């Protein structure tokens, strides 16, 4: 549980935070130019930051379930972590396709 909390804290304050700071800077530059810049489009297409963003809630649920149920073995930890990563992967794949941006077409 502590390992998951540390992982969540580090990824939330490094990968996700740095990505959104860079995205804000690029978005402001695009607003001043009046168009979507290639740098902004490239940054938005990166997958790691969106994956870690989608991983927040599933990992939090695993942390809470481990704290509430206090299992005696590692089974709940392993299964919960695998399910959390699977859910985050599915969200990372499907959400951008539900809400296309900049002329992209939605994939069924």
Question: Between 78 and 49, where is the model more confident?
Answer: 78
Residue 64 lies in a domain: yes
Instruction: Please spell the DSSP secondary structure of 26-64, one letter per residue.
Output: HHHHHHHHTS--HHHHHHHT-SHHHHHHHHHHHHHHHHH
Residue 57 lies in a domain: yes
Q: Which two tokens stand for residue 25?
A: 């800077």
Work out the average pLDDT over 68-76: 95
Domain count, the chain: 1
Residue 107 lies in a domain: no
Residue 103 lies in a domain: no
Q: How far apart, in whole angstroms, are the C-alpha atoms of residue 96 and residue 104?
A: 10
User: Model pTM?
Assistant: 0.74
Residue 26 lies in a domain: yes
Question: Between 15 and 89, where is the model more confident?
Answer: 89
Residue 104 has pLDDT above 70, yes or no: no
The secondary structure element, H or E, covering residue 76 is helix 75-98
Structural domain including 67 reads 2-98
Tens-digit pLDDT profile for residues 13-37: 888 888 889 999 999 999 999 998 9
């Amino acid at each position: 549980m502590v390992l998951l909390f540390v992982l969540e804290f580090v990824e939330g304050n490094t990968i996700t935070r740095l990505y959104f700071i860079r995205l804000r800077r690029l978005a402001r530059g695009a607003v001043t130019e009046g168009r979507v810049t290639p740098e902004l489009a490239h940054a938005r297409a990166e997958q790691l930051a969106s994956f870690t963003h989608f991983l927040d809630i599933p990992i939090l649920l695993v942390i809470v379930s481990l704290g509430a149920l206090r299992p005696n073995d590692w089974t709940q930890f392993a299964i919960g972590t695998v399910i959390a990563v699977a859910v985050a992967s599915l969200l990372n794949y499907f959400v951008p396709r539900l809400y296309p941006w900049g002329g992209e077409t939605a994939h069924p």
